[in-house]
Structure 1
Amino acid sequence: MLRLLVWHLMVIAAALIPSAAVPQPAPQRIVAIGDLHGDFEAWRAIAAAAGIADAKGQWTGGNATLVQVGDVVDRGPDSLKIIQDLMRLQKEAPRRGGRVVALLGNHEAMMMTDDMRYVHPGEYAAFADRDSKGRRDRNYEINKTAIEAAYRARTPDMSAAAIKEEWMKITPLGKIEYTLAWRPDGELGRWALDNPAVVKLGDSLFVHGGISSAYASQSVEDINRKVSTALKTRNAAPTAIINDPQGPLWYRGLVVRNDSDAATVAPVPPGSTVAPTILEEIDMVLRNYGVKRIVVGHTPTREGIIEGAGGKLWRTDSAISRAYGGKLTYLEIIGDRVTAHEVPRPASKPWSTQ
């Protein structure tokens, strides 16, 4: 009778625990791929070498888990092709016992808030269709008064013809469609909102930039909820979690410290008077999230994947994209064994700058 009572109490207690707090079994195999920045050929080569997807982008990873650590977009011309692959794999992998996690990077957040300063022209061209010219012309006419006012606020004597010519130059065909796709209700915006900023898998914590001491006391669920809210509202405030230099999408302080770069300056934790060192901050994150290692992207190096702090930090941004000219790599985690792999770069045509 006592055993039965204890069992019922355990069942009730388990039911009261939030599902997110219940420990999940660690994946048998995890493959992490760093920042891709529009390099579709590099992505396909890495995915094939890692046994995650074949030459056609179909899932071949079995029960493995793929984590792409963010920053698929910008710098290169073919992020749409990569995202389409990831979208498809996110549906295919679970049918075979696998999983695909596409983390949010700071560049995905930039797209959601209309910060297009690093967009390759090829990204816009991928969204152009037969009505793009007419759509652009109509957009100009509808907003003509506001556009002219904005230009003349900077250059009072600028003619209407010169304003239109300049606006058309900075609004290439496909840009309007690209911008709309990244709105919260757009195809790519909806996809981004479905993706997390932080994920914990077994003994590993994955995040694009890093977890600073300002966020280390917050749960994975809380961070992801705040990021999602900021993206939905397209919050461009510098203090918003998606723009905060010490937030999970931008922070580099687990890798380097530089007083002139706010994204590398560690905040002073509550109850303390001094900022932690890199090792102290890494240990704080490991302890608070109950993991053995942190896997990040965001801070590029052409040297390949870098192991830091005695295996507690793994940097996967090996400047994969041809825009940077680094190495094609992926990180493999099987139990406690963590292995960095390098992949030959495939031959391909030069990217157009037009």
Structure 2
Amino acid sequence: MSKLATKFSTWALVFFFTGLAYAGSDIPPVDDGPYISINKDKERLEAVWLCQSKKRRQQVKLQDLPRTFFYCDRTAAAEVENLAVLPDDISYRGDFKVAAISDFHGQYDLVIKLLTNNKILDANGDWAFGNGHFVITGDVFDRGDKVTELLWFLYRLEKQAEDAGGKVHLLLGNHEVMVLNGDLRYLHPKYVEAGKLLDIPFEQLFAQDTVLGAWLRSKSVLVKINDMLFAHGGFHPELAKEARSLEDINRVFKQNLVKTELAQPREGWANELHGRKGPIWYRGYFKGNGEDQGASDKEIDLLLKHFAIRHLVVGHTSQKQVETRYQGRVIAIDSSIKKGKYGEVLLVDGEQKWRGTLAGERIPL
């Protein structure tokens, strides 16, 4: 069987089984997009979107950027100034506030409320965090029905933060990597339908030649800020025992990001980094969730010493609120936003750390 046929069969099976899971449910008319691709001549952008399940298109010359793309009866959905991707290092040190959050899973309205009440956004939904650093430890995709809105929101917020002297760090989570690789098990039915209506495998809406696809491929899998190290799942103790550097972890992970774009199959350490012990899947800080039933205190101390940090900050494993493990050395920031009812944000100012609640209260961590 050819690679194209295999890919098509896999895509068809995903839609078939996802459809069975939602059999009998009525999917309302779909509003979604825009998805913006870069024309082969690299002189034009082509935007495609859905309004009430009807496909719409628009072409824009690159020389006409910046451009705000409107669609349906909504406000601005996408603001594209240029195709440049902002540089994002993996290590920062300075005197600034930090906020961190995880696992949005398509819950746009809840996220906006949480960030507004905690003064990361102003009343208009724009950046209000000054020179602060705002970290999202992955999983914007899947489960919820407003993933596209969240992606374009973060795309815009990143540029606003840069203009204000701050920084937005969107890290890759397992659901970003799953979607880029065509693993669509957790798509909301809206996006299953969108793929059908647009007549394209859903992951191809985030291909290398798309604005959002190129942007997502530029993202890191970790970031170190002052004495805190952030990742979606966490760092297996073997990384410290093997003296792996943060630079090597990020580089090898990124070089092996999308299987269909690799000249050779993932193998060796690259394959391990994308596996259950890698930074997007590891759950070993939460006993009962890890394959090895959790890291020991000694292993946590080894990780902290090796990476020269005081705290590991991770999402991926859901909690009721922002919580700590290992006497505060591990901070868990997946506050179950994916359920669409409640969420929290970690707030850091020097040595002080708080839980920022949905109502905007600050509770010492």
Q: Is this a same-fold pair by TM over 0.5?
A: yes
Identify the residue that residue 285 of structure 2 maps to in structure 1. 254
The alpha-carbon deviation at position 91 of structure 1 amounts to: 1.0
- Out of 84-93 and 187-196, give the one that drifted further: 187-196
Q: Is the 8 A contact 1:62 1:96 kept in 2?
A: yes
Task: Describe the SS at the equivalent of 1:192.
Answer: helix
The alpha-carbon deviation at position 341 of structure 1 amounts to: 1.7
Matching residue within 130, 133, 151 for 1:65 = 133
The alpha-carbon deviation at position 44 of structure 1 amounts to: 0.5
How far, CA to CA, are the matches of 2:249 and 2:217 in structure 1?
Answer: 13
Identify the residue that residue 7 of structure 1 maps to in structure 2. none
Matching residue within 3, 26, 36 for 2:94 = 26
Q: CA offsets, 1:87-113, max 9 Å, x none? A: 111111111111000010000000111
What is the CA RMSD across the aligned residues, in angstroms? Answer: 2.5
The alpha-carbon deviation at position 46 of structure 1 amounts to: 1.5
Aligned ranges 1:302-317 → 2 under 5 Å: 303-317=320-334
Q: Is the 8 A contact 1:209 1:296 kept in 2?
A: yes
TM-score, normalised via structure 1 length: 0.69
- Out of 233-242 and 61-70, give the one that drifted further: 233-242
The alpha-carbon deviation at position 336 of structure 1 amounts to: 1.3
Q: CA offsets, 1:256-290, max 9 Å, x none? A: 245xxxx5327xxxxxxxxx843222211111111
Identify the residue that residue 292 of structure 2 maps to in structure 1. 265
Which structure's residues are more often helix, by fraction? 1
The alpha-carbon deviation at position 242 of structure 1 amounts to: 5.5
Q: Is the 8 A contact 1:44 1:55 kept in 2?
A: no
Q: Is the 8 A contact 2:104 2:338 kept in 1?
A: yes
Matching residue within 274, 295, 303 for 1:243 = 274
> Is the counterpart of residue 50 in structure 1 residue 118 in structure 2?
yes
Q: Please identify the structure whose Cα radius of gyration is greater.
A: 1
Q: Is the 8 A contact 2:237 2:295 kept in 1?
A: no
Q: Is the 8 A contact 2:237 2:300 kept in 1?
A: no
TM-score, normalised via structure 2 length: 0.67
Say if 1:254 and 1:83 are closer, same or farther in 2 by CA, change over 3 A.
Answer: same
Q: Is the 8 A contact 2:105 2:338 kept in 1?
A: yes
Look up the equivalent residue of 1:328 and give its one-letter code.
Answer: G
Q: Is the 8 A contact 1:27 1:65 kept in 2?
A: no
The alpha-carbon deviation at position 232 of structure 1 amounts to: 4.4
Task: Describe the SS at the equivalent of 2:339.
Answer: coil
> Is the counterpart of residue 334 in structure 1 residue 352 in structure 2?
no
> Is the counterpart of residue 105 in structure 1 residue 198 in structure 2?
no
Matching residue within 187, 191, 198 for 2:222 = 198
How far, CA to CA, are the matches of 2:211 and 2:199 in structure 1?
Answer: 15
Look up the equivalent residue of 1:341 and give its one-letter code.
Answer: G
How far, CA to CA, are the matches of 1:174 and 1:255 in structure 2?
Answer: 41
Task: Describe the SS at the equivalent of 1:332.
Answer: strand
Q: Percent identity?
A: 32
The alpha-carbon deviation at position 192 of structure 1 amounts to: 1.6
The alpha-carbon deviation at position 186 of structure 1 amounts to: 3.0
Aligned ranges 1:125-204 → 2 under 5 Å: 128=194, 172-174=196-198, 176=200, 178-204=202-228
Which structure's residues are more often strand, by fraction? 2
Say if 1:229 and 1:307 are closer, same or farther in 2 by CA, change over 3 A.
Answer: same
Identify the residue that residue 215 of structure 1 maps to in structure 2. 239
Gaps of 5+ in 2: 1-88, 361-365
How far, CA to CA, are the matches of 2:356 and 2:120 in structure 1?
Answer: 14
Identify the residue that residue 251 of structure 2 maps to in structure 1. 225
How far, CA to CA, are the matches of 1:177 and 1:63 in structure 2?
Answer: 39
Gaps of 5+ in 1: 1-19, 129-170, 267-275, 346-354
The alpha-carbon deviation at position 246 of structure 1 amounts to: 0.1
Look up the equivalent residue of 1:280 and give its one-letter code.
Answer: K
Task: Describe the SS at the equivalent of 2:168.
Answer: strand
Look up the equivalent residue of 1:304 and give its one-letter code.
Answer: Q
The alpha-carbon deviation at position 305 of structure 1 amounts to: 1.0
Aligned length: 265
The alpha-carbon deviation at position 175 of structure 1 amounts to: 6.4
Q: CA offsets, 1:287-342, max 9 Å, x none? A: 111111010000012x211111111111011111236x5x3100011111111121
How far, CA to CA, are the matches of 2:199 and 2:184 in structure 1?
Answer: 10
Say if 1:251 and 1:85 are closer, same or farther in 2 by CA, change over 3 A.
Answer: same
Say if 1:175 and 1:300 are closer, same or farther in 2 by CA, change over 3 A.
Answer: farther
How far, CA to CA, are the matches of 2:311 and 2:305 in structure 1?
Answer: 10
Matching residue within 283, 299, 303 for 1:285 = 303
How far, CA to CA, are the matches of 2:199 and 2:352 in structure 1?
Answer: 44
